[in-house]
Chain A
Amino acid sequence: MDVFIAIVQILDSTIRLSVPLLLACLAGLFSERSGIFDIGLEGKMLVGAFAGAAAASVFHSAFIGLGMAILISVAFAMVHGFASITHRGNQIVSGVAINFIAAGSTIILGQAWFQQGGRTPALQPGERFDAIVWPGAEAVRDVPIIGPIYAELISGHSLLVYLAFLMVPFTWWVLFRTRFGLRLRAVGENPAAVDTAGISVAWLRYRALICTGILTGVAGAYLSMVQNGGFVKDMTAGKGYIALAALIFAKWKPVNAMFACLLFGFLDAAAIRLQGSPLPIIGKVPVQFMQALPYILTVILLAGFIGKAIPPRAGGVPYVKER
Chain B
Amino acid sequence: MSTPYAKLPAWADYGLIPLINLAVAFIVAGFVVLLVGENPFRAAVILVEGAFGKGTGIAFTLFYATTFIFTGLSVAVAAHCGLFNIGTEGQAYIAGLGIAIVCLSFDSVLPWWLTFPMAIVASALVGALWALIPAYLQARRGSHIVITTIMFNFIAASIMVYLLVGPLKPAGSQAPQTRNFLAGAELPKLNWIIELFGAKIRSAPLNVTFLLALLMAFLVWLLIWRTKLGYEMRTYGHSPKAARYAGISETRIIITAMMISGALAGMMALNPVMGDQHNVAIDFVSGAGFVGIAVALMGRLHPVGIVLAAVLFGMLYQGGAELAFEMPAISRDMIVIIQGLVILFAGALEHMFRPYIQALFASFSPRSVGMEAVKGKGA
With A112-B329, A298-B151 given, is the CB distance from A286 to B347 under 8 Å? no
Establish whether residues B329 and A83, one from each chain, have CB atoms under 8 Å apart when the complex forms.
no
Q: Is B349 on the interface with A (CB-CB < 8 A)?
A: yes
Establish whether residues B349 and A89, one from each chain, have CB atoms under 8 Å apart when the complex forms.
yes
Establish whether residues B347 and A93, one from each chain, have CB atoms under 8 Å apart when the complex forms.
yes
Which residues of the other chain, B, contact A82 by a CB distance below 8 angstroms? 349
With A96-B293, A101-B341, A303-B143 given, is the CB distance from A88 to B351 under 8 Å? yes
Which residues of the other chain, A, contact B144 by a CB distance below 8 angstroms? 302, 311
Closest B residue to A305 by CB, please name it. B141
Q: Is B193 on the interface with A (CB-CB < 8 A)?
A: no
Q: Is B132 on the interface with A (CB-CB < 8 A)?
A: no
Q: Which of A102-110, A120-128, A164-172 touches B?
A: A102-110
Q: Is A158 on the interface with B (CB-CB < 8 A)?
A: no
CB within 8 A of A303: which of B141, B335, B344, B350? B141
Q: Mark B141-156, 1 if CB is under 8 A from A, else 0.
A: 1111011101110110
Which residues of the other chain, B, contact A98 by a CB distance below 8 angstroms? 340, 344
Chain B residues 148-204 with CB under 8 Å of chain A are 148, 150-152, 154-155, 158-159, 161-162, 166
Establish whether residues B137 and A111, one from each chain, have CB atoms under 8 Å apart when the complex forms.
no
Which label, helix, strand, loop or mixed, suits the secondary structure of the A interface? helix
- B46 nearest CB across to chain A (Å): 16
Establish whether residues B343 and A302, one from each chain, have CB atoms under 8 Å apart when the complex forms.
no
Residue total for B at the interface (Cβ-Cβ under 8 A): 49
Q: Is A288 on the interface with B (CB-CB < 8 A)?
A: yes
Q: Is A323 on the interface with B (CB-CB < 8 A)?
A: yes
Q: Which of B30-38, B49-57, B102-110 touches A?
A: B30-38
CB within 8 A of B334: which of A94, A108, A288? A108
Q: Is A140 on the interface with B (CB-CB < 8 A)?
A: no
Most A Cβ at <10 Å: residue of B335, B337, B339: B337
CA A302 to CA B148, docked complex, whole Å: 8
Q: Mark A2-40, 1 if CB is under 8 A from B, else 0.
A: 000000000000000000000000000000000001010
Closest A residue to B4 by CB, please name it. A320
CA A92 to CA B137, docked complex, whole Å: 19
CA A100 to CA B297, docked complex, whole Å: 15
Q: Is A97 on the interface with B (CB-CB < 8 A)?
A: yes
Establish whether residues B148 and A111, one from each chain, have CB atoms under 8 Å apart when the complex forms.
no
CA A107 to CA B329, docked complex, whole Å: 10
Which residues of the other chain, B, contact A295 by a CB distance below 8 angstroms? 151-152, 154-155, 158
Establish whether residues B348 and A108, one from each chain, have CB atoms under 8 Å apart when the complex forms.
no
- B309 nearest CB across to chain A (Å): 15
Establish whether residues B35 and A94, one from each chain, have CB atoms under 8 Å apart when the complex forms.
no
Q: Mark B286-319, 1 if CB is under 8 A from A, else 0.
A: 0000100100010000000000000000000000
Which residues of the other chain, B, contact A91 by a CB distance below 8 angstroms? 348
CB within 8 A of A299: which of B36, B148, B344? B148
Which residues of the other chain, A, contact B326 by a CB distance below 8 angstroms? none
CA A88 to CA B160, docked complex, whole Å: 38
Establish whether residues A89 and B32, one from each chain, have CB atoms under 8 Å apart when the complex forms.
no
- B254 nearest CB across to chain A (Å): 15
With A84-B348, A87-B352, A89-B347 given, is the CB distance from A108 to B162 under 8 Å? no
Q: Is B22 on the interface with A (CB-CB < 8 A)?
A: no
Q: Mark A293-313, 1 if CB is under 8 A from B, else 0.
A: 001101100111000010100
Most A Cβ at <10 Å: residue of B4, B137, B344: B344
Which residues of the other chain, B, contact A289 by a CB distance below 8 angstroms? 158, 162
Establish whether residues B351 and A87, one from each chain, have CB atoms under 8 Å apart when the complex forms.
yes
Closest A residue to B345 by CB, please name it. A97
Which residues of the other chain, B, contact A99 by a CB distance below 8 angstroms? 340
Which residues of the other chain, A, contact B334 by a CB distance below 8 angstroms? 104, 108
CB within 8 A of A245: which of B36, B151, B330? B151
Establish whether residues B141 and A108, one from each chain, have CB atoms under 8 Å apart when the complex forms.
no
Which residues of the other chain, B, contact A37 by a CB distance below 8 angstroms? 146
Q: Is B336 on the interface with A (CB-CB < 8 A)?
A: yes
Closest A residue to B341 by CB, please name it. A101
CA A288 to CA B162, docked complex, whole Å: 6
Establish whether residues B340 and A94, one from each chain, have CB atoms under 8 Å apart when the complex forms.
no
- B25 nearest CB across to chain A (Å): 10
CA A108 to CA B34, docked complex, whole Å: 12
- A241 nearest CB across to chain B (Å): 6
Chain B residues 239-281 with CB under 8 Å of chain A are none
Q: Mark A228-255, 1 if CB is under 8 A from B, else 0.
A: 0000000000100100110010000000
With A87-B349, A244-B147 given, is the CB distance from A104 to B329 under 8 Å? no
CA A92 to CA B341, docked complex, whole Å: 14
Q: Is B13 on the interface with A (CB-CB < 8 A)?
A: no
Establish whether residues A299 and B137, one from each chain, have CB atoms under 8 Å apart when the complex forms.
yes
Interface of B toward A, CB cutoff 8 Å: 4, 32, 35-37, 84, 86, 133, 137, 141-144, 146-148, 150-152, 154-155, 158-159, 161-162, 166, 290, 293, 297, 329-331, 333-341, 343-344, 347-352
8 contacts across the A-B interface (CB closer than 8 A): A79-B344, A93-B347, A97-B348, A102-B340, A244-B150, A245-B151, A299-B143, A323-B4
